[in-house]
Structure 1
Amino acid sequence: MIEDSEMSNALLPIGFCDLLPSDAEAEACVVKWMMDAFADYGYERVSPPLLEFEQSLLSHAGSGIADQTFRVMDPETHYMMGLRPDITPQIARIAATRLINSPRPLRLSYAGACVLVSGAKHNASRQILQAGIELIGIDSPQADAEIITITAEALASAGVSSMSFDLMMPQLANSIIQTEEFSEHQRKGLLRALDRKDVAAVQHYAGNLADTLTTMLQAAGPADRAIEILQGLDLPLEAQQILERLLTSVKAVQAHNPELQLTIDPVEFRGWNYHTGLCFAVYVPGISGEVGKGGRYLSNNGEPACGLTLRPDLLLPLIDFDQYSRQRVFVPFGHTIEELRGLRKDGYILIMGLKADENITEEAHRLKCSFIYKNKELQPVSV
């Protein structure tokens, strides 16, 4: 226990912080812009609880988040509960229970805080903000493309002008590897080599598949170039079907947004534990690591689903919020809110004076106001 009472009152756990007025307002603005964009395309907002029973939180799609889940015991029921590290499994639960009879495809959006056991390498925060969408009840390239292109629209609405979507099919490399009988040692070595993008190690462990897997490694990059290389490979039937789905999804995205930057990593599979098809990560210049990720999975009742979760909090350093700032008006003591409604409708921030004898100009300066409300007019604050 910390003995210094002044220190203990201000100290927060590692990875947690207070958001002060300007940052908190900026974060709220980014979330609003994103959620408005999602709503424009028919995604209806839901709000699951921050805490729920471990049994439901970590089942089905939630099985991959167990390691990042804080657990506490419910004093009422003595059942274990978990603080959500990710909202997606909760959306899958809602779709399979509360909204089981709603028409499909089901379009849902969400935003809220999550708590992680440990932060990422590029970001130590353990309380993070998520905002995303899920499209549940349909499995098609067009659905994949909708998730990607609407996410791009949401990012653009939040002021992000440049972004890249990295597309992956985690099952592709595995479907090829399964056609050969590798020893456990070879298989582990090959998967590790693919994970590390180590061409020499892939050639050492891959045997008859060395040329194919090496070409796939080297194909990673811009989508059009990657597709041209991958289409030249002689793949097993299952792998060819997986590749065709990837190519069709890419064409569907490009039909919606030809200018959207797409890249393909044909051998990436790490971190996609519960996904069943196309996966994607979102990158924005100037931000280390991904700002969003998602993909295709099965909802709690086995329904096909696809979604993408963004991290709005990571975008704050890139956005110029000064262009969205509202001017502040100092309103001397004695005025009523009723007579100020017009100013509020015009977008001004109203700072109400609380003392009859205060120096109006000094208070306006001190409270960073641009105008003083006087004689039913706005008068600029003198410098």
Structure 2
Amino acid sequence: MRFSDSPLETDLPKGVRDFLPLKAAKVEYLQQRLQQVYSSWGFRPVITPQLEFLDVLERGLGDGLRERTFRFDDRQSGRLLAFPPDMTPQIARIAATRMSELPLPLRLCYSGRVLRHTEQQAGKDRDIFQSGVELIGLDSPEADAEMIAMAVESLAAVGAENFTIDIGQVEFFRGVMEGLPLDARLAEDVAEAILRKDSSELGILLQKSGLKDSSCEEIFALPRLYGGREVLDRAEQSVSNQRSRKALDGLSQVLDVLDVYGVLDHVTIDLGELRGLNYHTGITFQGFLSGVGQTVCSGGRYNNLTEKYAFSAPATGFTFSLLHLLFALDKVLDERVVPSCDLLIFSTGKNLRVAQALACQFRSQGYSVTRDILDRTREDALNYAQQMNYRYMAVVAGEGQDVEMISLVDGEQKQVSWEQLDQQHFVL
């Protein structure tokens, strides 16, 4: 068998995919709409590299992401390289090493792709599309509220309607746990049970703990501290330590600002939300769309990250998973995104210069235009234009003759003179 006769291997590695024009247009639409929101809040884009030295990148990675990092030898330097599994550490590095002389705060945004190892049977994406913002140099409730309000505005901008932002506060949990005589493994199991809202398992763990009843009651209340602003009152009654009370006061100030922004209808408080416990230093939040189990965005305060690159600055931010957004809003985006071209120019005569000049003229006016180069019939050209989502087909017979404009939306046909086409702003 000749090599050219061999069947082409078309499988892709697990966790990656191709995006054909419609899906690609939807991803591009999401990126553009999110970027518009970021820009309106004063955030400026940065572009991060797709390769980093592993030892530099790992300074900003938690244990979970270190284990999921693709790494390999660099023949040029002899050092290990890595594909970043997340963009926030890269932004922290840029701020610390390239922008440290600039006045704070820094308002930076990004959009790009990262790679992560996943379990072989997990069925999760390894090629991850991220878009987000980082606000570096501010440690205040207003800055935290700004992130949440931007996330709400971003979701509305891409067409989401039924969504919630769940807000947590890891300092509240740390205040409850501070000073308790629990070994590290039991404390971790307790946090995991709270995160799963598994009151039965939590009760069993607390029975083993030997803690005082008052401490057990404070911990056992955590999975139930979920709901609207009234949760703050219940939380304050359930704790006595100052660290947790200070966290509640900060959260209350965040909600006051969100009330001014008019987004409280989308907000839920969850003081048992402990994702990112070892990374975040205060407010955390996640975005959920109705009927979709996975988060579409996540964020929060992380005041200790930039100092790992020798630049101490408070920071907060959030990131969207564009693929999760695409999955959640696929039907909505069908109404917003149509990958179409404005005009296909079909020539019936031998003199192609007329059709070519017309294509240049329409492009100069901002339209997307294709000259139908194939030698085919009018019917075949029209069928092609319909299948490829053109808005119009122009039939050019020759110089001086009217051009037939066919609308592929409603089938309307009209003759247009060259005098009309020569107008500077001819409208299709």
TM-score calculated relative to the size of structure 1: 0.89
Cα deviation, residue 119, structure 1: 6.7
Map of 2:424 onto structure 1: none
CA contact (8 A) 1:132 1:307 kept: yes
Q: List gaps (5 residues or longer) in structure 1.
A: none
1:37-48 mapped onto 2 (5 Å cutoff): 37-48=37-48
Instruction: Please point out which of 362, 383, 392 is paired with 1:371.
Output: 392
> Quick one: percent identity of the two aligned structures?
26
Amino acid at match of 1:283: F
**Corresponding residue for 2:377?**
359
Q: Is the contact between residue 219 and residue 226 of structure 1 (CA under 8 Å) also seen in structure 2?
A: yes
Tell me what 2:27 maps to.
27
Deviations 1:31-88 (A, max 9, x none): 1111111111110000101111111211135665211210011110111111111111
1:145–1:253 Cα contact (<8 Å) kept: yes
Q: Which of the residues 232, 242, 249 maps onto 1:244? A: 249
**Which of residues 304, 308, 312 in structure 2 aligns to 1:302?**
312
- Cα deviation, 1:74-119, whole Å, max 9, x if unaligned, reads 1101111111111111001111111112221110000011111017
Task: Specify the alignment match of 1:315 in structure 2.
Answer: 325
* Contact 1:372–1:380 (CA under 8 A) maintained in structure 2: yes
Aligned residue for 1:332, secondary structure, equals strand
62-71 or 177-186: bigger deviation: 177-186
Query: d(CA) in 2 for partners of 1:311 and 1:13?
Result: 20
- Residue segments in structure 2 that go unaligned for 5+ positions in a row: 396-401, 413-428
Cα distance in 1 for residues equivalent to 2:221 and 2:121: 30
In 2, distance between residues paired with 1:273 and 1:64?
Answer: 10
Shift of residue 184, structure 1, vs aligned partner: 5.6
Give, in angstroms, the shift of residue 195 of structure 1.
3.4
Q: How does 1:183-202 map to 2 (within 5 A)?
A: 183=183, 186-202=186-202
Task: Report Cα offsets for 1:177-204 as digits up to 9, x if no partner.
Answer: 2233235665455334323323244344
In the other structure, the counterpart of 1:339 is 358
Q: State the alpha-carbon separation in 2 of the partners of residues 253 and 121 from structure 1.
A: 41
Q: Secondary structure at the match of 2:78?
A: coil
Paired with 1:213 and 1:278, the residues of 2 have a C-alpha distance of 19
Whole-Å separation in 2 of the counterparts to 1:61 and 1:255: 35
Shift of 1:338: 5.4
2:216 aligned with 1:210: yes
Distance 1:195 1:28 in 2: 34
Secondary structure at the aligned position of 1:58 is classed as helix
Task: Provide the alpha-carbon RMSD of the alignment.
Answer: 2.7
Q: Given the superposition, is the C-alpha separation of residues 188 and 294 from structure 1 closer, same or farther in structure 2, using an over 3 Å criterion?
A: closer
1:364 positional shift: 2.1
Matched residues in 2 for 1:89 and 1:283: separation?
Answer: 24
Contact kept in structure 1, 2:255 and 2:264, CA below 8 Å: no
The residue correspondences of 1:1-383 to structure 2 (distance < 5 A) are 6-8=7-9, 10-60=10-60, 65-118=65-118, 124-183=124-183, 186-204=186-204, 205=206, 206-208=211-213, 209-220=215-226, 222-298=227-303, 299=306, 300=309, 301-316=311-326, 317-325=330-338, 326=340, 328-333=342-347, 334=352, 335=354, 339-340=358-359, 343-344=362-363, 348-355=367-374, 357-368=375-386, 369-374=390-395, 375-376=402-403, 378-380=405-407
Of stretches 83-92 and 362-371 in structure 1, the one that deviates more from structure 2 is 362-371
1:344 offset after TM fit, Å?
4.7
Deviations 1:361-381 (A, max 9, x none): 321212323422133452235
Shift of 1:358: 2.2
CA distance in 1, matches of 2:62, 2:203: 36
* Residues 139, 336 of structure 1: alpha-carbon distance in 2 compared, 3 angstrom cutoff: farther
Cα shift at 1:136: 0.4
Could you report, residue by residue, the CA deviation over 1:301-322 in whole angstroms, capped at 9, with x for unpaired residues?
A: 2210000000122222243334
Pair 1:135–1:278, CA change in 2 (3 A)? same
In 1, the alpha carbon distance for the partners of 2:365 and 2:120 equals 43
* AA of the residue aligned to 1:319: V
Greater radius of gyration (CA): 2
Judged with a 3 Å threshold, the aligned counterparts in structure 2 of structure 1 residues 105 and 280 are, in CA distance, closer, same or farther, namely same
Deviates more, 1:223-232 or 1:150-159: 223-232
CA distance in 1, matches of 2:123, 2:140: 34
Partner SS state of residue 197, structure 1: coil
Aligned residues: 378
Structure 2 CA distance for partners of 1:137 and 1:366, relative to 1, 3 Å:
same
CA distance in 1, matches of 2:336, 2:107: 32
